[in-house]
Structure 1
């Protein structure tokens, strides 16, 4: 029987000579493997480097532990004919798939090879991605996609489009089951952009990576607006304006290093807890500097990052969506070696109010933490929701409800700390005890109320103020009276809405003790197919 493999045409379409014996076949296999590892022509590799981009295999080598990569489907080739494809059948078909380890833990990966058909997706290309996604779901291990492709392979028509459908279906099936991370290292246009949007985290590299549904040419044809590729869908646009990208970096090396760091903070799947680490930061360390960081005057801004840095192990945390919706902070960190998610208002930006973008950002983060068994710490200093016609017409009610729904639905340990202000509906939404927070603590500087004292006095005592001989003096007196009666630091604690009023310096120790107690928490939601969250 003729050896079918040896009669297959090579990458250049020519037939290889039949192997004479077993040793010859081994030599033939080695030659094929060498061809696979070399990839396409040196000219294609030089063109890739001229764009400031690494090759697919170089990227995988940076992502995974050295020597851990096991490739799957290296000899796969397309079977399409016509439009010039019959003479171009390179191995891998433009995507490298397989598994390896990151910090010793199993991770699955696929990487588009832009040097082959511009990384465009065809039937065989898609089948390889489908297989590695199925393997990741079955094995219960994270999936990382290194994206650098030109979209659907036009020569293969609808088969290519169906390939994308299979990817989207698997993205959705894996959601909340295994961590999915998309790393954008080149162009991603059209329907292909939806796969990264379905994953848990999106990384982008400046200048080389873009994401958009319709490119600059289409935008100009339809609207007349002229825009560059980066101006339309570059890393900074998606990191600051659209919120599509969680992280943006200047180069591929630092980007992939941060992907490795993120993976060290995530469990392999939803049945496991995040991996613990040995911490040399004492759990009972007092945080005396917090008194200097947070002003007692509720109208004075400060950087909430300094508070988080003081509380968490070694001051190290990974901020998610750092440059989008900056009035709220979402971060992953460790307390006594255990991974926690931190949601905190940022008084340095818009006074820390909640608005549409902040609500969406925090809601998605809370859902991610809950899906992957990460306890949530909420640090409150919130004056309320951002007022305005744009916010109301933009659906702040609907978007704010997303955050409310996410917290109410979360079953992981949840601890809240009120640092200063916690007013109105924003106080309730930011994981108050009334919506299910397991423990709530407050600093002596806390003010928990329906609204600020000035606004409350103007509503409650408006007639007395209006009829007074000195309205300003009357207003000041009513404000002081309201604060004394309803906004003193122990008002909420007296009514059981706060477990304790603690010294700021004790916060780290209190959080660590509380998390240790809640580690065995078990909570069930009512039986249902799924909820219907506000959209």
Structure 2
């Protein structure tokens, strides 16, 4: 009869190979990595996931190359399953070989089939030079692209990321990097060889470049901060497009309340500046809402928040930047954010206060009309619950991209009394038409009366007192939530994005 001794040699070999994989690049390389204030690949996974929940696959892939440069598996974040892959920079600079590519493909494949989020932790040199093409080996990016709009996909960037590996980040819904991160099509040595340009990795794709270009959404101070923000970001989302976002339990922050502070925050005059962030602090359940991409297109604030305990997406004009005018970067940011929110059934709250799309030669050269059309297409085809408030003004196409129109499938649309709207402001119209002084005065008075006239024709559901802002939105959301009487399904998209 066979005994445990028959297994000893085989299990010993398994243990040896596992130990080799878990050793990653070895003690010396790990010490050098930790000396830079970084967590290693396995340390990042341990910090990200609920304690003890990680189950690895493909640990023996790569043979002598530990885990073939990427640690992959499944675990829990706040009790919910996710797939996670972490590039191991201590093993051949986290480069991608055939085995690692297969693991990356498998991660995305399982995320989609099991309908759970995909998290990629990046720090690698792209495909490993081999002198040959991988032939018909499935590429991970194909599988990742199939996840788009079906399961949340996020990436964290912890060091230099180049080539194929770097493409993982912009294909994700949301990306965040540390201050030591850098992302580029090709690193400085390749750039020097190809173009003769001598440039550092920070100048080529460091945080300043990646955030200002919009390639990366958010910045964290270090590895731990980035991993904590990934957990926080995912907390607003359902596991997949086949489910709805989970609401928080009721507490003292989730119920109705008056917002009298908005009378002090929002000036009555259109020419006075205020910070829209203070409005978000007053309206939503607590002031710890999460801003997405704050350094790119800052004329629009995109944020994740809770209203009545329900996760919502917020798109708000920022009067402190360009007087709230919408430029190309702000419109592009908002278009992407709206599409992601709609894909995962997050209600969208629009807070409008803008003088329109940003005019001028620089704005036109940046393609502001194309970007504005992109934002309009995203918001008007969004199928999720939409709520709108015009605080002071919304002119021209700037009103349409902010979902002002009363027949644009909103669950609720409101404005403050005296809010001004139209094709353009009275001042702009007066200058454009060379109006006489008495005509200009009448135009300005008509502008002030516009909200009352619009409300008289149901241009809004109602004009509201600023003190009623939170409660009006909360009532609209509570009613809109009742449309969820059937199982959630992925959004079918037929619009060709401009």
- TM-score under structure 2 length normalisation: 0.93
* Residue aligning to 2:108: 133
Residue of structure 2 aligned with 1:456, choices 429, 432, 437: 429
Q: Is the 8 A contact 1:377 1:416 kept in 2?
A: yes
Distance 1:273 1:510 in 2: 23
* Residue aligning to 1:84: none
Three-state SS of the structure 2 residue aligned to 1:313 is coil
Change (3 A) 1:157 1:54: farther
* Residue aligning to 2:455: 493
* Residue aligning to 1:259: 230
Three-state SS of the structure 2 residue aligned to 1:519 is helix
Change (3 A) 1:215 1:268: same
* Residue aligning to 1:479: 440
Residue of structure 2 aligned with 1:35, choices 20, 28, 34: 20
Q: Is the 8 A contact 1:65 1:104 kept in 2?
A: yes
Distance 2:276 2:45 in 1: 36
1:341 lines up with 2:313 in the alignment: yes
Distance 1:264 1:283 in 2: 20
Equivalenced residue count is 489
Distance apart, 1:521 and its partner CA? 2.9
Alignment map for 1:119-158 (pairs within 5 Å): 119-155=94-130, 157-158=132-133
Change (3 A) 1:219 1:32: closer
Distance 2:492 2:393 in 1: 37
Q: Is the 8 A contact 1:407 1:435 kept in 2?
A: no
Distance apart, 1:282 and its partner CA? 4.5
Distance 2:105 2:30 in 1: 26
* Residue aligning to 1:329: 301
* Residue aligning to 1:353: 325
* Residue aligning to 1:58: 43
* Residue aligning to 2:146: 173
* Residue aligning to 1:277: 248
Residue of structure 2 aligned with 1:504, choices 459, 462, 466: 466
Q: Deviations over 1:439-492 (max 9, x none)?
A: 210012411222112222344562xx2xxxxxxxxx2x4333223334313121
Change (3 A) 1:172 1:232: same
Alignment map for 1:65-464 (pairs within 5 Å): 65-77=50-62, 89-155=64-130, 157-159=132-134, 166-207=139-180, 209-220=181-192, 225-239=197-211, 241-278=212-249, 279-432=251-404, 433-459=406-432, 462=435
Distance apart, 1:218 and its partner CA? 4.5
Q: Is the 8 A contact 1:329 1:344 kept in 2?
A: yes
Distance apart, 1:222 and its partner CA? 5.7
* Residue aligning to 1:533: 497
Distance apart, 1:429 and its partner CA? 1.8
Distance apart, 1:397 and its partner CA? 1.6
Q: Deviations over 1:494-523 (max 9, x none)?
A: 121111110111111111110111113379
Change (3 A) 1:225 1:117: closer
Distance apart, 1:369 and its partner CA? 0.6
Change (3 A) 1:360 1:162: farther
Distance apart, 1:155 and its partner CA? 2.4
Distance apart, 1:264 and its partner CA? 0.8
Q: Deviations over 1:245-301 (max 9, x none)?
A: 111112101110111111111110001111211242142111111110111111011
Distance 1:505 1:316 in 2: 21
Q: Deviations over 1:155-202 (max 9, x none)?
A: 26312x866x61211121100000000111121112332221111011
Q: Is the 8 A contact 2:188 2:201 kept in 1?
A: yes
Structure 2: state its 5+ residue gaps. none
Distance 1:411 1:376 in 2: 10
Q: Is the 8 A contact 1:122 1:156 kept in 2?
A: no
Q: Is the 8 A contact 2:418 2:448 kept in 1?
A: no
Distance 1:507 1:369 in 2: 22
Three-state SS of the structure 1 residue aligned to 2:119 is strand
Residue of structure 2 aligned with 1:44, choices 26, 29, 53: 29
Structure 1: state its 5+ residue gaps. 1-18, 79-88, 466-474
Distance 2:57 2:283 in 1: 44
Distance 1:30 1:221 in 2: 44
Change (3 A) 1:376 1:52: same
Distance 1:298 1:446 in 2: 9
Distance apart, 1:232 and its partner CA? 1.3
Distance apart, 1:124 and its partner CA? 0.7
Larger Rg: 1
**Root-mean-square deviation over aligned CA pairs:** 2.2
Distance 1:369 1:242 in 2: 22
